[in-house]
Amino acid sequence: MLEAKKQAVAKALLFFLPIGPKAKTKMRRHRCHQAVRSESETESETDTETMRCISCKEEYGARDAGTCKECYEEASETEEELKREIEDLKAKVAFLRFWSPLDHAHRGSTSPGPFFPDVVLVASDDGSPGLPPVPVPSHKAVLASRSPVFKAMLENEMEESRSGTIKISDVSYDALRAFVNYLYTAEAWLDEQMACDLLVLAEKYQVKHLKGYCEKFLVSKLNWDNSLMSYAFAHQHNAKLVLDAALCLITDNMDKLTKREEYMELVEKDPRLVVEIYEAYLSKQVNTAAHKDSSVKS
Amino acid sequence: MLEAKKQAVAKALLFFLPIGPKAKTKMRRHRCHQAVRSESETESETDTETMRCISCKEEYGARDAGTCKECYEEASETEEELKREIEDLKAKVAFLRFWSPLDHAHRGSTSPGPFFPDVVLVASDDGSPGLPPVPVPSHKAVLASRSPVFKAMLENEMEESRSGTIKISDVSYDALRAFVNYLYTAEAWLDEQMACDLLVLAEKYQVKHLKGYCEKFLVSKLNWDNSLMSYAFAHQHNAKLVLDAALCLITDNMDKLTKREEYMELVEKDPRLVVEIYEAYLSKQVNTAAHKDSSVKS
């Protein structure tokens, strides 16, 4: 009996002896293993395990788990491929981009530079009193390739094609110059005025790419103060992107609307547009109500 | 003394008692936490913890840790931005891309279509016996914009500019047609023959973008059988990309080299090129040796 006790003590004492680190680690690993495999655990428990993020080098737990190494590496490869594709496309743009004949044409000089133009465009209301309008040299092939309107005009041997001069009405020399330049380079320096002028030309001559470019710019410049004017302008020139953005901004601020001077003017000048604002506002309210309803039900 | 023993046994016995699951888990969590924080541990130890990958939904351990959730989300945003940029660039390419005047020109007809060409190119050795060479209609402005050689030719009022006909020697009608088409569209359908023909034209008229396009294609088609011919061709037409790739392939298979028929021919026709192969091989061996050396030292 005493012998049995002795043995029990001997066994028991083992637990008081210091255990070597290796042994400890083994126990720990074993238990961690269980901790992970066991299905019964709640997130808060597994969340205490942490890993180090390859990207930000911070430790993270299960709740903040992103991707495994393999997926991370795949994603990085994809990113590299996309960047390569962008480089290729930029090189293609640089190759296809024409130097504009205007690089060599200066205001007050009709020299088109050594670029063999076969047509000139003239701004019918060039804003320089006294001076004759300055022709903007161009190529029929470029105009026809960028604008179906020019294409029809030039193919059908209209007066413009025969005379080699295309008159553009209601546009300044600078806007016309920027317009032609865009047809060659797909680039334009924009402020709000120029964006409006070019949008009008793009709409008139059906240069979709330029129209989209101007619309994006105008949307980025939208604010409460210019929203009503932008709305009316977009309406007049069929600029859907700007129209929707402006309408959204206006219908979000209906309480302030009627106090605006431009509002009174619009009611005077074009009440139909004002009606459309109220209609948009109404349908917005209906939609919001319906949405609230459904979210309450669900 | 016996009392002391009794107490010891009592304490010791605690370790034999079954411990409740909660308590177990607590211990486990505590130890796992240590396991991660402790710097002293090896990878294989922390590797036993697992998380679930957002992307592939698989469980992964520390050794396979990728990114945390935040970095994963950032990466996804970047990918979206890159894709948007690609869309914009593709739209720009589509806008700048010219329709080729050849879309309307058919072999055997000189009608250039309604695209106002002001110059024609003629393949001096058009491969159709009996028939006169078919002119390829084009625009001085396009040729000059894509190739500095054409630019100089046309600006300096050389014979070509006056006559409006540019003779291109040592080229088939199909190659010339593809060449002009590329100047308008930055696109070409390539097989190995066409890639070689276009590379020669691109080199002659300094159309870098086309040359790079052909070189990439030829590199993708490189193999042991065409490596020597590709090497000689690349040498002749200054195609560095193809040259380096071919040289690398050849110097990796020097043992088989001298048995090749093309090798004998090259020794006959242009021994300097063969010397360059051996020089490249030699410097490769030296570099490899140096690399081995340094990796042994470090």
Residue with tokens 């973008």: B209
Q: What is the pLDDT of residue B296?
A: 72
| Contacts B45 to A, Cβ<8 Å | 25, 28-29
**Residue B86 distance to chain A (closest CA, Å):** 6
Of A66, A79, A140, nearest to B66 by CB-CB distance is A66
CB contact under 8 A, A96 and B99: no
Query: Percent of chain A scored above 90 by pLDDT?
Result: 47
Among A13, A67, A144, select the one facing B53 at the smallest CB separation.
Answer: A67
pLDDT of residue A287: 87
pLDDT at B158: 72
Q: Could you tell me if B296 lies within 8 Å of chain A, comparing CB atoms? A: no
- Rounded distance between C-alpha atoms, residue B220 and residue B214, angstroms: 10
**Interval B189-234: pLDDT, tens:** 999 999 999 999 999 999 999 999 999 999 999 999 999 999 999 9
Distant-in-sequence, close-in-space partners of B257: CB < 8 Å, separation ≥ 6: B250, B263, B277
What one-letter code names the amino acid at A24? K
CB-based contact, A45 to chain B, within 8 Å: yes
Residue of B nearest to A22 (CA): B41
pLDDT at B110: 44
Q: Choose the mutation target among B52, B95, B183, B208 for the interface with A, i.e. most A CBs under 10 Å.
A: B95
The larger pLDDT score, comparing residue B297 to residue A194, is at A194
Residues of chain A in contact with residue B52, where contact means CB-CB under 8 angstroms, are: 62, 65
- Report chain A's mean pLDDT, rounded to a whole number: 80
Nearest CA in chain B to A62: B51
More confident residue, B117 or B14: B117
Give residue B298's pLDDT. Answer: 63
What's the whole-model pTM score? 0.74
> What is the arithmetic mean of pLDDT over A14-34?
37
Task: Determine the average pLDDT of the residues in B238-259.
Answer: 94
Q: B148 contacts in A (CB within 8 Å)?
A: none
Rounded to whole angstroms, the Cα distance separating B30 from A240 reads 61
pLDDT band at A68 (very low <50, low <70, confident <90, very high): confident
| A152 has a chain B CB within 8 A of its CB | no
- Smallest CA–CA distance from B116 into chain A, residue: A141
CB pairs under 8 A between A and B: 244
Contacts of A52 in chain B (CB under 8 A): 62, 65
What pLDDT was estimated at residue A104? 54
Query: Tokens in use for A206?
Result: 């059906």
What is the pLDDT at residue B132?
76
Query: What does the pLDDT read at residue A128?
Result: 61
Partner residue facing B144 (CB), from A33, A53, A115: A115
pLDDT the model gives residue A277: 94
Exposure of B134 by Cβ count < 10 A (0-12 exposed, 13-18 middle, 19+ buried)? Answer: buried
Could you tell me the pLDDT band of residue A265, with boundaries at 50, 70 and 90? very high
Condensed to tens digits (0 to 9), the pLDDT of residues B22-74 reads 333 333 333 333 334 444 444 444 445 578 888 888 888 888 888 888 888 99
pLDDT score, position A103: 64
| DSSP string for residues in A75-105 | HHHHHHHHHHHHHHHHHHHHHHPPPPGGGS-
The C-alpha atoms of residue B122 and residue B272 are separated, in whole angstroms, by 36
Binary contact (B141, A82; C-beta < 8 A): no
Residues 185-204 of chain A with CB under 8 A from chain B are 186
Closest to B237 measured CA to CA, from B211, B274, B209, B262:
B211
Judge: A66–B70 Cβ closer than 8 Å, yes or no. Answer: yes
Do A116 and B140 count as a contact with CB atoms less than 8 A apart?
yes
Contacts of B49 by beta carbon, 8 Å cutoff, 6+ apart: A32, A36, A49, A50, A51, B32, B35, B36, B61, B62
Looking at the predicted structure, is the pLDDT value of residue B12 above 60?
no
Residue B281 has pLDDT above 80, yes or no: yes
Share of chain A above pLDDT 70, in %: 76
**Chain A interface mutation, best of B76, B97, B100, B116, highest count of A Cβ atoms under 10 Å:** B116
Closest by CA to A168, choosing from A192, A213, A128, A204, is A204
pLDDT digits (tens, 9 = 90+) for A110-140: 444 457 888 999 998 765 667 778 889 999 9
Give the type of residue at B148. P
pLDDT beyond 80 at A292: yes
Read off the pLDDT of residues A212-257 as tens digits, 9 standing for 90 and up. Answer: 999 999 999 999 999 999 999 999 999 999 999 999 999 999 998 9
Q: Is the pLDDT of residue A109 over 90?
A: no
* Mean pLDDT calculated for residue range A83-107: 80
Q: Map tokens 């070509």 to a residue.
A: B160
B114 shares contact with chain A (CB less than 8 Å) = yes
What does pLDDT average to over chain B?
Answer: 80
pLDDT of residue B180: 95
DSSP strand E in chain B: where? 50-52, 59-61, 65-68, 119-123, 136-138, 165-168
Kindly tell me if the per-residue pLDDT of A18 is higher than 70: no
pLDDT of A17 over the 50 cut: no
Chain A neighbors of B13, CB-CB under 8 A: 8, 12
Task: Indicate whether B287 pLDDT > 80.
Answer: yes
The residue among A179, A100, A173, A169 whose CA lies nearest residue A139 is A100
Residue A34: pLDDT band (50, 70, 90) is very low
> pLDDT value at position A98?
83
Which residue in B8, B11, B35 is closest to A32 by CB distance?
A: B35
Q: Residue A145 and residue B62: Cβ atoms within 8 Å?
A: no
